Structure 1
Amino acid sequence: MVTTARPAATASTALPAWVLVGVAVLVQIVYPLVPSAWLTGVTVTSVVVFFLASLADVVRVHGVRGGLLLVGIAGGGGLVAEAVGLATGFPFGSYAYTGTLGPELLGVPVVVPLAWAMMAWPALVVGRTLAGRGPGVVAVGAFALAAWDLFLDPQMVSAGHWTWFAPDPALPLVPGIPLTNYAGWLLVSVLVVGGLHRALGPGRGSGPATALYLWVYASSVLAHLAFFGLPGSAVVGGIGMGVVAVPFAVATWRRLRGSLHGTLRGT
């Protein structure tokens, strides 16, 4: 079933999403500054608030049904993929959660499918912005989602939230995480972003989703380099995710500049 995009939102309807974006950014800023005993709690809080920001934004753009589709396709799809992965080793490789991330469903911490959903919407916005329409939207959006794991997995493995049983072969500079993991992420991302793109119907750009994606990219590079002691993933993730994040930032800047010029000419 296809849903149609809602009319352009006013500033007031966007306010809840922007407030949640601000809170998500604040929680992530706090993360490297809190005592180590608080880190897991802040990690879970960060994911929950980020998820709520994405959910509020997709509801703003595509209505309540759009929010349900995000939860069902991205959250539910992520849960199924993770549960199958734990049981069979496909498609990511053999791994296990260490029990540090809170309540679990089908052996998967509940926060994990929320993480899939929280980034799926911004990734789709990236795909729609850079590719416009057609299969390119899914290709670019899926890469935008999967590339995030170049930061996520090294950080979470380093923090002890999950472990890999057969970590080789791995990417240069990022030991301990098998190449199969990234292939699995790309496969699941194609299915998730493709499903969302088809189910949500035509859409437009989104300021909150744009801010979320670009914040995750820039803050991840800085945090891995300066706070987490993971310079390898800072470089690899900076290049890999930057393949889409940098052109997306340029396209966003050009759009904003064009809007500003249009406003100034109209005054």
Structure 2
Amino acid sequence: MSGLLEARAVRRPAAAPWVPAVLLVLTAIAYPLLDPGPARDAVSWAIVLLGSAVSVAHAAVSRGARAGAGVLLATAATAVVFESVGLATGFPYGQYSYSDDLGPTLLGVPFLVPLAWLMMAWPSWLLARRLTAGARPARQRPARVAVAAAVFAGWDVVLDPQMVQAGYWTWAHPQPSLPGIDTVPLTNLAGWLLAGAVLMTLLDLLAAGAVPRTGDGAPLLVLGWMTLGGALAHAAWLGLPGSAAWGVLLAVPVLAALAVQARRS
């Protein structure tokens, strides 16, 4: 009887990240179906809050409460530093500005922005950890950091045109840009790669040494849905075929690598 109770106690924490993950998917489905306005803005807030909850809950459940708190603080601090410097100087993303629709700010950075970083940073690191598992031990950390930064920046390639379309931020000089995306400059991609490298180094130092207690399904569901689900929404409802194509293109090598790993295991 005591063994059964212990098993249930273990399952409950393990299930904690799944609740906001499933709610996020259901909420994200509503976004492209709504007209621009307060209802769609509320959905955007809900998606980010749920996604950040998935990251913190999974980090805490899988690697301990200290790791969960560390992931939250490291991501929020890195986001505020990079975004506030970016707003003031244009480095490293290029010159941009936020609208008032995103609500309260800290150093000019809307509170929603660090939470959006948190929503995607932890899943990006988890995916990179999986993709680089076969690397030589001496090369695993730099490989994890590089791949995680690339995944993190790739997510923004899909998201940023949607947020510009929604009026949440605008770029002073959106050209030159990726083919098919004329509202976001290439400097933004370079900035995300730099910021991602810094953040993923911090997350790797925080979490790489801990033995996972649960699987990564919930955060990887969030990452997959926000990228591929976002690409579908861009193509079918939001009139953003360029970012939709880039989302699929960037996902192909990741899916291929995961398929090869699954076949070898």
TM-score (norm 2): 0.88
1:178 equivalent to 2:191? Answer no
Measure the CA separation in 2 of the matches of 1:61 and 1:53. Answer: 12
Q: CA RMSD in A?
A: 1.8
SS in 1 for 2:183: strand
The question of whether the paired residues in 2 share the 8 Å contact of 1:148 and 1:241 is answered with: no
1:241 CA drift (Å): 4.0
Within 5 A, what are the aligned runs for 1:13-24?
13-24=13-24
Gap change, CA 1:103 and 1:139, over 3 Å in 2: same
1:135 CA drift (Å): 1.2
| Stretch deviating more after TM superposition (209-218 or 112-121) | 209-218
Query: Please, which of 215, 221, 225 is the counterpart of residue 215 of structure 1?
Result: 225
Within 5 A, what are the aligned runs for 1:46-195?
46-132=47-133, 133-195=140-202
Gap change, CA 1:217 and 1:166, over 3 Å in 2: same
Measure the CA separation in 1 of the matches of 2:85 and 2:252. Answer: 30
SS in 2 for 1:168: coil
Query: 1:218 is aligned with what amino acid?
Result: L
Measure the CA separation in 2 of the matches of 1:101 and 1:142. Answer: 25
Measure the CA separation in 2 of the matches of 1:211 and 1:252. Answer: 18
Residue matched to 2:30: 30
Gap change, CA 1:248 and 1:104, over 3 Å in 2: farther
1:13 CA drift (Å): 1.8
* Consecutive unaligned residues in structure 2, runs of 5 or more: 1-8, 134-139
1:39 equivalent to 2:49? Answer no
The question of whether the paired residues in 1 share the 8 Å contact of 2:163 and 2:169 is answered with: yes
The question of whether the paired residues in 2 share the 8 Å contact of 1:168 and 1:176 is answered with: yes
Residue matched to 1:197: 204
Gap change, CA 1:175 and 1:61, over 3 Å in 2: same
Query: 1:146 is aligned with what amino acid?
Result: A
Gap change, CA 1:249 and 1:91, over 3 Å in 2: same
| Stretch deviating more after TM superposition (118-127 or 9-18) | 9-18
Per-residue CA distance 1:72-103 (angstroms, 9 max, x = gap): 11121011100000000000000000111111
The question of whether the paired residues in 2 share the 8 Å contact of 1:24 and 1:53 is answered with: no
Measure the CA separation in 1 of the matches of 2:236 and 2:22. Answer: 22
Determine what percentage of the aligned residue pairs are the same residue: 40
Query: Please, which of 228, 231, 235 is the counterpart of residue 225 of structure 1?
Result: 235
Residue matched to 1:6: none
The question of whether the paired residues in 2 share the 8 Å contact of 1:217 and 1:242 is answered with: no
SS in 1 for 2:174: coil
| Stretch deviating more after TM superposition (155-164 or 59-68) | 59-68
Per-residue CA distance 1:184-216 (angstroms, 9 max, x = gap): 000000110111011223354512122222222
Measure the CA separation in 1 of the matches of 2:208 and 2:63. Answer: 9
Query: 1:59 is aligned with what amino acid?
Result: A
| Stretch deviating more after TM superposition (30-39 or 155-164) | 30-39
Query: 2:163 is aligned with what amino acid?
Result: M
TM-score (norm 1): 0.87
Gap change, CA 1:247 and 1:210, over 3 Å in 2: farther
* Consecutive unaligned residues in structure 1, runs of 5 or more: 1-8, 259-267
Query: 1:116 is aligned with what amino acid?
Result: W
Gap change, CA 1:114 and 1:254, over 3 Å in 2: farther
Measure the CA separation in 2 of the matches of 1:163 and 1:112. Answer: 14
Residue matched to 1:5: none
Measure the CA separation in 2 of the matches of 1:130 and 1:194. Answer: 16
